[in-house]
Amino acid sequence: MATQLSPARLGSLFRPRNIALVGASDKSAFSAMAYRNLVDFGFSDSTYLVNRRGVPVHGQSTVTSCADIGEPVDVAFLMVPQAGTLDALSDAAAAGIANAVVLSSGYGEAGDAGRRAQAELVAHAESLDMALLGPNHLGFANLVDQIPVTPVPGLPRRAGRIGLLSQSGASSGAMVEFAAIADADLSYLVTLGNEAMITAGHVLEFLVEDENTDAIAIFMETVREPQRFAEAARRAAEAGKAIVVLKAGSSQLSARTAAAHTGALVGDDRVISAVFADLGVIRVDTIEDMMITAGAAARLGRLSRPGIGVVSISGGACDIVADRAEEFGAPLPELSAQTKQQLVTMLPGYGTVQNPLDVTGAAMLDPTLFTRTIQTMSQDPSIGVVAVVNVLPWQAGDGPYPQQVFVDAIGAGAEAAATPVSYVNQVSAPITDATKAVMAHGKITHVIGGLRQAVVALSNVGWWSQRLAELAADSELAPVSVVVPEDISRTGAWSEHTARTALAAAEIPVVPATLTHSAAQAVAVAAQLAGPVALKIVSPEILHKSDIGAVRLAVTGADDVEQAYQAVVSAAQRHVPDSKIEGVLVSPMRSGGVELLVGVVRDPSWGLMLAVAVGGIFVEVLDDSVIAPLPVDRGRARRMLDSLRGAAVLRGARGGTAADLNAVAAVIEKVGNLALALGDDLESLEINPLRVDGSTVEALDAVITWSPRHEDDIRRDELQEIG
């Protein structure tokens, strides 16, 4: 039976009253480093050393087994070799220890044998009802209570409010170091390793409930237990705690590398990005951006709007910020007429009033210019945060900081401001005790080092704030239920005719079509349509009709229609000899407009994903498509359309009629809802093309396929069909 791993349960792991260091040895560098941490943090009195031979270790006496400790212990910190791990778990369990931290490697990351060993390890821990962190990791540190259960060196002696999770043990020390450099101090560091039992999702759940944690930073190469992760991310969003993820694997090379050293398969990177965006999880590219963004989210909280107002004494810095903002899509809104008017009265004649605002050298003579412009800018209706670009010291000077007067003026502006204010150092420099003394004097509470870093972090926090608002609104929407045919077998593929029925049931506009069963019937239908027609074979076994010549387009006149009918039937019979042919669809030909592809595919990790693309060059040459997990409402669908490069064509860039994008978005919403309504067996649903011409939106073809099923399901279907 699986060990129960609720936040409360994990509390006994991450907030232990005491621990047993099992496998303590002077010969082990990890043991020595871990014990050194415990001594440094004053937790060695709450640490029991267990050594098989009972010899003194790290200058302390040891016991030979956990059972000999003689009092309740919360965590067994295992440093034993892989071969001794199962016995060590049994010994710990026998002593009543409920949690194990297992450092050894040679498990899931080490081929088939390793995977078997890992399954055995988990089964054994579960049989003992133990919670197990790792293996193949470097433990954790609870910095709130100053308890280091890890050999990672250089842990800080102060706590902050950011939980840091890392699948990489070897890089976690560098992340901890940069957290200190960026003044983004940690509540917990948890290295995850192979996540054999406790996964990132469990730790997230714990941190979402932890009152000492305001934001969570995660370095990961793969998302294990995607649904648990997603559910924990939803709870974090509800709690207003930002999750910032540095997810490796955006390149093919790193996906391969990560697979090599973690043993995990790395999912499609675009799917990950789409899912993160949906969940309100911020994705970043570097360790620095991860810690700075998490720090900004923790300090600033949710912004009321994403607009960034920039104030600086350096025109050059204003330019760099503007360039990076355009690169990263960070909003630097134009200020309102009222704000501009107020600023004009403050600034000398030669200054230009805009955002970013260059307060000019006049602020050297009158530092209150900072105070007043910050306050005024913060009151602009489009601004959600003010970034004040200036300098800060990081090395201790001989006397008071010569530029303290400017820092104090900025601090006064921040206190009077209507929005949060971030102080931005022009370059990436550490935030040291010397920096903090200057900040404290000026009552500055948040600093970001570096212009690029500030643009990235503040636009991330703005995006997250907006996404949280959207999610809160989304929760009101229930997916529309769609009636779909129940009498048709949900296996293999559906013919176009069947798929059309489902689309129509979902109120998705479909080009008119008549299923004909003879050439004469086809001729009669074509005659009624009074224009060129399309003829297509209908068979569940033939999905790629055009490829085998079972489609004829722009057919005119009775003779040609008759000939086309025969041609598509014989093409089908020739290429797929025993296919079940339902008939031939006859539709009016359509021309003009723009063709979209709208598809839904089930991702093995994340479920149904909706993809939208403009046909032709955009999808074939430029790979210009956008994806999102279902459900997707029409507002979201509209944003998806707008984000396509091909959207310009929809808007009539090449002389065509501008499409009614809201009408298109409404149809896309219906496609998503249909896919959801089709249920768990749906493998894919593709409309290709969805023709858009002005306000006309029409599916010209559709394919629906079903997942292969278990024996039982198939038998049930057969019984139903027989019945």
- Judged by CB under 8 A, the chain residues 411 through 430 that form the site for a second copy are 425-430
331 binds a second copy (CB under 8 A): no
Options 76, 325, 409, 626; binder of a second copy; rule CB under 8 A: 325
530: number of Cβ within 10 Å? 8
Token digits for 61? Answer: 């006496």
**DSSP one-letter code for 264:** P
Of 133-192, which residues contact a second copy (CB under 8 A)? 153, 166-168, 170-171, 173-175, 177-178, 181
394 binds a second copy (CB under 8 A): yes
Q: Considering beta carbons, is residue 26 or 541 the nearer one to a second copy?
A: 26
118 binds a second copy (CB under 8 A): no
CB of 697 to a second copy, least distance (A): 21
Rounded to an integer, what distance in angstroms lies between the CA atom of residue 426 and that of residue 442?
Answer: 18
Phi and psi of 222, rounded to 5°? Answer: -150, 150
536 binds a second copy (CB under 8 A): no
CB of 403 to a second copy, least distance (A): 8
Point out which span in 284-292, 602-610, 660-668, 694-702 binds a second copy (CB under 8 A).
284-292
Rounded to an integer, what distance in angstroms lies between the CA atom of residue 53 and that of residue 84?
Answer: 14
Q: Give the DSSP per-residue string, 528-585.
A: HHTS-EEEEEE-TT-S-TGGGT-EEEEE-SHHHHHHHHHHHHHHHHHHSTT----EEE
Rounded to an integer, what distance in angstroms lies between the CA atom of residue 122 and that of residue 127?
Answer: 8
Of 109, 138, 101, 102, give the one whose Cα is nearest residue 12.
101
116 binds a second copy (CB under 8 A): no
246 binds a second copy (CB under 8 A): yes
Q: Considering beta carbons, is residue 616 or 694 the nearer one to a second copy?
A: 616
CB of 294 to a second copy, least distance (A): 14
Token digits for 638? Answer: 């509209």
Phi and psi of 383, rounded to 5°? Answer: -100, 130
Of 418, 484, 424, 434, give the one whose Cα is nearest residue 458.
424
Q: Is the dihedral angle over the CA atoms 286, 288, 292, 298 positive or is it negative?
A: positive
Of 426-455, which residues contact a second copy (CB under 8 A)? 426-430, 450-452
Beta-carbon contacts of 135 under 8 Å, excluding residues fewer than 6 positions away, are 85, 102, 103, 104, 105, 107, 118, 121, 193, 194, 196
CB of 634 to a second copy, least distance (A): 25
Rounded to an integer, what distance in angstroms lies between the CA atom of residue 708 and that of residue 553?
Answer: 33
Options 260, 337, 478, 530; binder of a second copy; rule CB under 8 A: 260
Total interface residues for a second copy by CB under 8 A: 86
131 binds a second copy (CB under 8 A): no
Give the x-and-dash track for 654-673 against a second copy (CB under 8 A).
x-------------------
CB of 251 to a second copy, least distance (A): 4
Of 357-386, which residues contact a second copy (CB under 8 A)? 358, 360-361, 364
322 binds a second copy (CB under 8 A): yes
Q: Are 462 and 547 a contacting pair, CB within 8 Å?
A: no
CB of 329 to a second copy, least distance (A): 11
DSSP reduced 3-state for 243: strand
404 binds a second copy (CB under 8 A): no
Rounded to an integer, what distance in angstroms lies between the CA atom of residue 311 and that of residue 290?
Answer: 24
Q: Are 490 and 681 a contacting pair, CB within 8 Å?
A: yes
Rounded to an integer, what distance in angstroms lies between the CA atom of residue 186 and that of residue 156?
Answer: 9
Point out which span in 14-22, 126-134, 324-332, 508-516 binds a second copy (CB under 8 A).
324-332
CB of 176 to a second copy, least distance (A): 10
Of 12-31, which residues contact a second copy (CB under 8 A)? 29
CB of 272 to a second copy, least distance (A): 12
